[in-house]
Every structure is written in structure tokens, then in C-alpha cells.
Amino acid sequence: MEVSEDLLNEPILKIQNVSKSFPGTKALDDVTMDLYGGEVLGLCGENGAGKSTLMKIISGGLQKDSGKLLYKGEEVAFSSPRDAHLNGIGIVHQEIINCPELSVAENICMSVMDKNPKGFLDYNWMYKTAEEYLSRFNVEINVKEKLSNLSISYQQIVEIVKALLLDCSVLIFDEPTAALTEDESEKLFAIIDELRKNNIGIIYISHRLEEVFNNCDRVTILRDGQFIDTLNIKDVEVKTVINKMIGRELGDFYPEKAAGSDEEVLLSVRELTNKPSFANVSFDLRKGEILGVSGLMGSGRTETARSICGLDRKQTGSVFLEGKELSIKSYKDSISEGIVYLTENRKKEGLFLEMSITDNVSAMSLGEMSGKILMNKSLEIENTDRYCKELSVKYSEKTDKVGTLSGGNQQKILIAKLLSVSPKIVILDEPTRGIDVGSKKEIYTLIRALVDRGVGVIVISSDLEEIVGLCDRVMVFHEGTMMGDLTDKDITESNIMHMASGIAKGSNL
């Protein structure tokens, strides 16, 4: 064999017997895997499988307990993310980490400040560089805008662009599309393809297996911190990957749809308006149906939900619960009427990261969990136990801080918090964002069970496949107005897309 070919076939990154423990958890257990230059390697595993932990170790954000990292044939141990950058390893983190008070351009150029041709801060250079990279996504983002004024999807794009700027030989994407729209995701895949052609090694993490199958060359599977298998995408079926991820057969992904909904209306909304977000929204939620809400980001879906719950103010319109008109002035009123909302922004608006699992689960049901003055701890623990079991939350102790749980388990804690108040209507905004297939299925089953119990459920989602698979009826929003709804056979991705982009109207309007 020739030397040059040997070099060509040498992996750019070798991970050998890496282990890592946190207090109470073994996050990685003797993991060995390789990454080649010019390939896109998918990394799959359930929530808490250790994917992010492994990526943080590779990119200098965490230190491994034992094992070896070989990069371009040499053993390395990066002491900090910056150290990893300088050596050509970049990462787009699962959790958006940025400086919300700085401008888009300043955020993008943060880690390449020293590439600035002049010694001092050259804003023109920063603006130009930022614009140039953002143009690849074809989005209109003003680079002078304060980052916190951007939507989550745009903030995610900024994160990605920040990493693209680094000139890496290894680039890691940890669930980059969780907050992106379909369109933006497509752009990202085009960029990833370009990177691959430039012989860059790419690790791609996603719970959307479709993406992994469409864009990766190989897929590595982790389960409970252990390496399970690496497979060529070409020779493998989705089902095999899922089975390896969860260690058993998954069965049907979506629960069976409702046979036909009751006529009984649980919630009706009439002419709800809050300009400029949305106007004249009217709909009924019937008993026994899962009502899906689709639409592009910024189309007014979330804002409508928030107004119904008293989280945002409404200008005009009315909301009826079981035929009775409600006057909801705050979210507290809404909760006591039994209408609850699951936020799409888990970290910022959902979790108390520094507080325990139990504290998080009880946050909404303090009244039920206490006497006149004092909290009833045993009731709290009982309640937490019950829902953690029902939702199969994985944790080591109930006193653990929620911040140490994996993304999917954090989401389950939020759902447990909602269920603790025994709600009548549950509005779920992106309920499965960043959640693994196994847990997704559990959540779908749970949603169906809630509906069967007589609870009204509205699911807002950007994941079209999920909307189509799960919902009995779908409303579509376009630029703050309702385009109508779809039922039965009409619920297809293409119908929804047409309505969401404003081209077609639904049957019932």
C-alpha cells in the first residue's frame, strides 16, 4: 500500500476509549469512534445518551476522565474551546450561547477578532464579514441589530455562521435545526455539502432521523453513554437505527387517530386580535381531537396561544371554555380556569435550571401542593414521582438540578409541570423540539391519552411530519391570519405548505 493513500484513509479524528462521569451519572462509557475528513457523520442516540457531552469533550468545553483523542494523528487534549478553535475544531452548540446585548455582527465575529486586519475594532470589516456569511443563508438580517431582537431561528443562524467563520477541519453541529424553519434547514444542508467537498470532517447530531438519512454518509449510535454501532447510511434502514438507539423495537410511531370527534366544543375563540401579531382568529377545539397549528415562524401561532392564556394582552376578541365566556387577565387566571401553555423556549421561559426536579414540577401547582402557608413536601414528591414515572423521565435523584438533565428530559419535566394542575386545555408549543424518537413517541401517546381522557389539546409545531402524523385537524396560519383548517385526508405536508405560504386557503373558509 502506498503511503499517500494510507494518509488519505487515516481518520482526521479518532476517539479512543473516552469515559466521562458526572456526579450520579456515567455520561460516557469507553466510547471509541472515528471521523474522516470529507464525510458527514451522523450521531444518534436518545436524550441523555451522551452525544453533547462527547462533542463538548472534543471541542474543549469539557474534560474527559479517561481515554484518548487523536487529531490528525497526534494525541490532543484541548484545555478550552478557544484552544480547540485554534486547532481547527469548531462546534455549534445545542443550546444557543451568545451575547444578547451585542449586535449580530459583533456576535458573529467574536471568536475571529484577531483576524481583523487592523489592530483596533474595525466595524466596517465586521459588518462586511458578517453580511457575507449571512448571505449564504439568504436571510435578511440586519447585522447592526441587537441579537436579542432576533427570533430564535435567526439567532440559531447567527450561531451557525459564527462557527463557519472559524476555518475548521472538524465542524460539529449539535441539533442545529431544532430551531430552524424547513427552508433554513435546507440552506444549512447545502452549506454542509459544500464543507464536505472541502474535505472537512463533520459531525451532525439530530433527533430528526430523516435529516440524518438525507445528509449523512455514516451514522454512529450511542446508547446510555456507550458506543453501539457505526453504519453506512446507504446500507441501513431507519428502523434499524431506531432499534439500535433505544435497544428495542419501537412499533408504530404515531398513535391511532381519533375515529371521529365529538361535537362537544371545549374551547372556542372568536375574533381574537392582537395587532400586529395576528388578527381575527376564530376557531373551535372539540372534545376528543388533537388540533394542530401550523405556519411559518412568526406567523402568529405562538402569539395567539399566548393571548388565549393571558400571557400576552389581547386587543379584542373573546374566549369561551365549555360555553362560558372567560375573562382572563393574567396567566394565573388562565391556569385556574384550566388552560395551560407549554413554552417553545425551554431554557429561557420554562425551566428553573438551578432548582431541583421537584421544585420545577411543582412551580405551577403551588396551591395544590401546599396548605394555608406551608408547602406539603411529601405531596410534592408524590406528585413528581407520579409524573416522572408516567413520562419516564431519566434522572438520578429528584433533588438534582434540572440543568443537569438532558434536553429531552428537561422537556418532560415541563410537561409534568403542566399536568400537575390537572388542566382542561393544554396548548403545547413545539412539544418535541430536541427530543429523541423514543420520547417523542411517548409524548405522542401521552397527548392521545390526554385527549381520550377529555382534555383538549392544541399542538403548535414547525415539524410538518409531526403535525401530519399526530393531529386530527390542522389550522394553518399565514402572516397573522388563519388560512383555514384541514381534516382527514387533506392533512398533507404539501397542503399545509401551500396554506402556510399564503398560496391556498383551507376548505372551511
- The single residue among 115, 239, 332, 389 that binds another protein, judged by CB under 8 A, is 332
CA distance 443 to 342: 13
The secondary element (H helix, E strand) that includes residue 299 is: none
Which sign does the torsion angle of CA 187, 193, 194, 199 carry? positive
Q: Given the rule CB under 8 A, which of 115-123, 181-189, 360-368, 433-441 is the region that contacts another protein? A: 360-368
Q: What is the pattern of x (binds ligand ATP, CB under 6 A) and - over residues 423-442?
A: -------------x------
Q: Given the rule CB under 5 A, which of 52-60, 153-161, 466-474, 476-484 is the region that contacts Mg ion? A: 52-60
Is 211:238 a contact under the CB 8 Å cutoff? Answer: no
- The single residue among 15, 84, 94, 350 that binds ligand ATP, judged by CB under 6 A, is 94
Q: Which long-range contacts (CB under 8 A, 24 or more apart) does 317-321 make?
A: 317/269, 317/270, 317/271, 317/272, 317/273, 317/280, 317/281, 318/269, 318/270, 318/271, 318/272, 319/267, 319/268, 319/269, 319/270, 319/272, 320/267, 320/268, 320/269, 320/270, 321/266, 321/267, 321/424, 321/425
- The single residue among 37, 48, 350, 434 that binds another protein, judged by CB under 8 A, is 350
How near is the Cβ of 430 to ligand ATP at its closest, in Å? 15
Query: In terms of DSSP H, where are the helices of 201-314?
Result: 209-215, 238-246, 301-308
How near is the Cβ of 418 to another protein at its closest, in Å? 9
Three cell numbers at 473? 385537524
For the chain, how big is the Rg over CA atoms in Å?
A: 24
Nearer to ligand ATP, 178 or 426 (CB): 178
Per rule CB under 6 A, count of chain residues that contact ligand ATP: 18
Asked if residue 153 binds ligand ATP (CB under 6 A), the reply is no
| Residue listed under C-alpha cell 453506512 | 232
Cα dihedral value 151, 157, 159, 160, nearest 10: 170
Q: Pick the closest to residue 272 from 477, 506, 430 (CA basis).
A: 477
How near is the Cβ of 388 to ligand ATP at its closest, in Å? 14
How near is the Cβ of 293 to another protein at its closest, in Å? 19
Asked if residue 503 binds another protein (CB under 8 A), the reply is no
Residue 288 binds which of Mg ion, another protein, ligand ATP, none (CB < 5-8 A, kind-dependent) = none
Residue 343 binds which of Mg ion, ligand ATP, another protein, none (CB < 5-8 A, kind-dependent) = another protein
How near is the Cβ of 397 to ligand ATP at its closest, in Å? 11
The three-class DSSP label of residue 372 is coil
Residue 69 binds which of Mg ion, another protein, ligand ATP, none (CB < 5-8 A, kind-dependent) = none
Asked if residue 334 binds another protein (CB under 8 A), the reply is yes
| Residue listed under C-alpha cell 394553518 | 476
Asked if residue 283 binds another protein (CB under 8 A), the reply is no
Is 47:409 a contact under the CB 8 Å cutoff? Answer: yes
SS (H, E, C) 425-444: EEEEECCCCCCCHHHHHHHH
Asked if residue 52 binds Mg ion (CB under 5 A), the reply is yes
> DSSP letter at 65?
S
Asked if residue 7 binds another protein (CB under 8 A), the reply is no
Three cell numbers at 15? 476517539
Residues 32-51 that bind ligand ATP (CB under 6 A): 45, 47-51
How near is the Cβ of 291 to Mg ion at its closest, in Å? 30
Residue count of the chain, please give it: 509
Q: What is the pattern of x (binds Mg ion, CB under 5 A) and - over residues 80-99?
A: --------------x-----
Residues 411-440 that bind another protein (CB under 8 A): 417
Nearer to another protein, 266 or 402 (CB): 402
Residues 57-116 that bind another protein (CB under 8 A): 61-63, 79-80
SS (H, E, C) 174-230: ECHHHHCCHHHHHHHHHHHHHHHHCCCEEEEECCCHHHHHHHCCEEEEEECCEEEEE
Q: Pick the closest to residue 318 from 331, 332, 307, 303 (CA basis).
A: 307
Measured at CB, which residue is nearest to Mg ion? 52
- The single residue among 97, 375, 449, 503 that binds another protein, judged by CB under 8 A, is 375
The secondary element (H helix, E strand) that includes residue 330 is: none
Residue 53 binds which of another protein, ligand ATP, Mg ion, none (CB < 5-8 A, kind-dependent) = ligand ATP
Residue 27 binds which of another protein, ligand ATP, Mg ion, none (CB < 5-8 A, kind-dependent) = ligand ATP
- Secondary structure (DSSP) of 454-496: T-EEEEE-S-HHHHHHH-SEEEEEETTEEEEEEEGGG--HHHH
Asked if residue 404 binds ligand ATP (CB under 6 A), the reply is yes
- The residues of the shown chain that bind another protein, judged by CB under 8 A, are 23-24, 26, 61-63, 79-80, 311, 330-332, 334-335, 341, 343, 348-355, 359, 362-364, 366-367, 370, 373-375, 377, 396-397, 399, 417
- The residues of the shown chain that bind ligand ATP, judged by CB under 6 A, are 22, 25, 27, 45, 47-53, 94, 404-408, 436
